[in-house]
Amino acid sequence: MKELVFKEIDGGKPFYMLLAFMGLFVLTALGAAWYMEHNGHWVTGMNNQIVWGTPHVFAVFLIIAASGALNVASISSVFQKTAYKPLARLSGLLAIALLVGGLAVLVLDLGRPDRLIIAMTYYNFKSIFAWNIMLYTGFMAVVGVYLWMMMERKMNGFTKAAGTAAFIWRLILTTGTGSIFGFIVARQFYDSALYAPMFIIMSFSFGLAIFILVLMAIYSGTGRPLGDAILFRLKNLLGVFIAAVLLMVTIFFLTGLYATEHHDVVAFILNGNNIYTKLFWVVQIIMGSLAPLALLYNPVTGTSRAWIAIASILVILGGLAQIYVIIIGGQAFPLVMFPGMEVSSSFTDGVIASYGPSLPEFLLGFSGIAIALIIVTLALKVLQFAPNSLADADVDPHYAAAK
């Protein structure tokens, strides 16, 4: 293999156009956040029954995807697959960027975002939220050090150690994110230890889908060569992750179908006359899992860059739908306080809670993605994250020779 040459991207007109476009998203989101905080959350779709809305869907998606985006680097540094080495820096960068984007959305959706400093200084160590605050900030630090080890020639010897630490940290981090839901004993759809491993598998899939898209965008945008060898490896891996998520989802619902106690909530999600059932079957399963699986492994579409990109986009949309069903659907199902009773009250006890996402919530959610992309774009401009060439001959001579 030739020695890799990493180089900053050029800052031409497209570079500034992209930044300006993404910046616009961030500005509207800041306006939306101000509007929500100024008027109070009644202007959103949220209420006292659905307390976490669309911003949480985007935030949790981005946080999960962040840890997954690091996988490519882990495969290189921890599992010593040299083919992934050229991508490791970008993988670490994307992980940090997605996490920052997700956290920004989460913070701006707080009832009191001005009290962020309190969240940083007052800790209840029994709270899984508090653990997560430390896991998130720690993740950025650990991945930051890992990037330094990779990018500073003198420190290269420590890459494996730092990469291993980051890999372990990310597994714990996603366990923590999943357990935010897994530890909620009060609600029928949560309270399952499966959330932790399911979120880890989901992170593999969502993170890789985003990574593939960002990689393709960078290389086509900068006119640098991107060979089939590396891209096909990634898309095959994405297929494996999609299948693994399907397996976890199947097990999750099977356990629910077995116990009578959970029949109602499982029927609500899988066979209800509501948006969650549609999102589950149409967007998450058919569009977001089965279709990309078929596209990625079909010999024709699986070797087409356009179809690989479409499959990756579908995985992202399916992932957003999955998180929407988990977060909003899980809250919409009424709390079971009195088993065997029909319950009614002025506080919507016993009925499916309604939730309609509002424009400010969507704008805030989208800004998470915009923030992540701005960070990636700026970092590519000022530091050497992306190799000059990912052509087959440069990264995998055997593949190039066999072709």
Partner 1 sequence: MSEESNIDIYRRRFLSGTATAAAGLAVAPGVLLTEVAHAKPADQAVTSDVRWGMLIDTSKCDNGCDDCVTACNEEHNLEGFGRPTTDAQWIRTVTLKDKQTGNVQTLPMLCQHCEHPPCVDVCPTGASFKREDGIVLVDKHICIGCRYCMMACPYKARSFVHEKLHDQMPYSPRGKGTVESCTFCVHRVDEGMSPACVEACSAEDHHAMTFGDMNDPDSELSQQLKQYSSRQIRADLELNTGVRYRGI
Contacting residues toward partner 1, per CB under 8 A: 37, 39-42, 46-49, 51-52, 110-113, 115-116, 118-119, 122-124, 126-130, 133, 180, 183-187, 331, 335, 337-338, 340-349, 353-354
The CB-of-146 to partner 1 minimum distance in angstroms stands at 27
Comparison of 133 and 290: residue with beta carbon closer to partner 1: 133
| Contacting residues for 360 by C-beta, under 8 A, at least 6 apart | 32, 33, 35, 36, 43, 44
Comparison of 4 and 353: residue with beta carbon closer to partner 1: 353
The two structure tokens encoding residue 156: 């290269």
> Which residue has tokens 């653990």?
131
The CB-of-306 to partner 1 minimum distance in angstroms stands at 41
Indicate the DSSP class of residue 110. S
Comparison of 116 and 240: residue with beta carbon closer to partner 1: 116
123/130 Cα distance (integer angstroms) = 6
16/20 Cα distance (integer angstroms) = 6
Comparison of 302 and 350: residue with beta carbon closer to partner 1: 350
The CB-of-43 to partner 1 minimum distance in angstroms stands at 9
The two structure tokens encoding residue 191: 């309270």
2/219 Cα distance (integer angstroms) = 19
The CB-of-2 to partner 1 minimum distance in angstroms stands at 49
The CB-of-353 to partner 1 minimum distance in angstroms stands at 8
Comparison of 178 and 207: residue with beta carbon closer to partner 1: 178
Indicate the DSSP class of residue 46. -
Comparison of 250 and 344: residue with beta carbon closer to partner 1: 344
Comparison of 40 and 223: residue with beta carbon closer to partner 1: 40
The CB-of-150 to partner 1 minimum distance in angstroms stands at 33
| CB neighbour burial string for 370-401, b if at least 16 within 10 angstroms, e if fewer | bbbbbbbbebbeeebbbbebbbbbbbbeebee
**Cβ 308 vs Cβ 235: under 8 Å:** yes
The CB-of-181 to partner 1 minimum distance in angstroms stands at 8
Comparison of 62 and 97: residue with beta carbon closer to partner 1: 62
Compute φ and ψ for 101, nearest 5 degrees.
-60, -45
> Which residue has tokens 């977060």?
327
| Contacting residues for 143 by C-beta, under 8 A, at least 6 apart | 70, 92, 95, 96, 166, 169
Pairing of strands 6-7, 386-387: antiparallel
The CB-of-191 to partner 1 minimum distance in angstroms stands at 10
85/73 Cα distance (integer angstroms) = 7
